[in-house]
Amino acid sequence: MDKVCCCLEVDTHVIVTGVMSLYAHKKQQQHKMNYVPGTASLIDDIDKKHLVLLRDGRTLIGYLRSIDQFANLVFHQTVERIHVGKKFGDIPRGIFIVRGENVVLLGEIDMDKPCDTVLQQVSIEEILEEQRLQQQAKQETEKVKMQVLKDRGLSIPKADNLDEY
């Protein structure tokens, strides 16, 4: 094991830096597995393609590049995937930093597994249009429901940000 020891002089104090082992590089390979056994750690997920579902309902797919102790995630070559019915569309987003508390779930995408999905990919414009239509339809039904309830003298509070409370 080759080691390099560096001594630095800082003002009048001599601080011996940590032993730098040159095989740290090699270690990196070995460390692929299970950095924190006994607990869950995202370390092993780094540089792999992931799908993350956020609290606001967005789905992001990207390469997980970096994490921190709060599970804040840094995604690279991120794509936001919008699903409407059986169609989906990808919007390239670039680099995303997601605050850990907003993650609902996160899963690795298995690149090797054959993709046999019934979903059909469409263009961005189309999927956005579809999404808009879906939102519209939902709002319509919601409105009707509220009206009906109002007629009966009932009211249900809007579940807009229920998540927050």
Residues that bind other proteins (CB under 8 A): 4, 6, 8, 10-11, 15-22, 24-25, 27-39, 41, 43, 46-48, 63, 65-69, 76, 111-112
| Structure token pair of residue 82 | 């919008």
CB nearer to other proteins: give 68 or 163. Answer: 68
**Alpha helix ranges (H) inside 98-123:** none
CB nearer to other proteins: give 11 or 160. Answer: 11
The one-character DSSP state at 150 is: H
Q: Is 76 exposed, middle or buried (0-12, 13-18, 19+ CB in 10 A)?
A: middle
Decide: helix, strand or coil at residue 90. Answer: strand
Report in angstroms how near the CB of residue 120 gets to other proteins at its nearest: 27
**Residue written as token pair 């090797």:** 112
CB nearer to other proteins: give 6 or 144. Answer: 6
Distances (CA, A) of 25 to 6, 33, 151: 18, 15, 71
CB nearer to other proteins: give 66 or 139. Answer: 66
Report in angstroms how near the CB of residue 58 gets to other proteins at its nearest: 23
Report in angstroms how near the CB of residue 119 gets to other proteins at its nearest: 24
Report in angstroms how near the CB of residue 10 gets to other proteins at its nearest: 5
**Residue written as token pair 């519209």:** 136
